[in-house]
Amino acid sequence: MFYVYVLKSKKDNKLYFGFTKDLKKRFKEHQTGLVPSTKPRVPFDLIYYESYKSERDAKGREFKLKKGKRAYEQLKKRIIDSMQ
């Protein structure tokens, strides 16, 4: 399985979107500061994830969430309570 996930920084309340094959391992890497792009924003809450059988589908979804305002806005409506 492949995963698209959303992290929320406890430090600045900003969201981070990512993609991985091993969600548990990747979340631990974020939490321990091993990911350069998120290191200054630790710690995190994992607030949402989606699983995909296809790597291509997961990467496409991650891209849409990062670059597509519409996809992001739709997701925000679905997870409004988790974002608070």
51-67: pLDDT as tens digits? 999 999 999 999 999 99
State mean pLDDT over 41-48.
96
Averaged pLDDT of the chain = 94
65 touches 72 (CB < 8 A): yes
Residues in CB range of 69: below 8 A, 6 or more apart: none
Helices 55-67 & 69-78 angle (0-180, nearest 10): 100
Q: What pLDDT is stored for residue 53 in this prediction?
A: 98
Domain extent listing, the chain: 2-78
Percent of the chain whose predicted confidence (pLDDT) is above 70: 100
Which one of 2.40.50.100, 2.60.120.10, 3.40.1440.10, 3.90.1150.10 gives the CATH number of domain 2-78? 3.40.1440.10
pTM score: 0.91
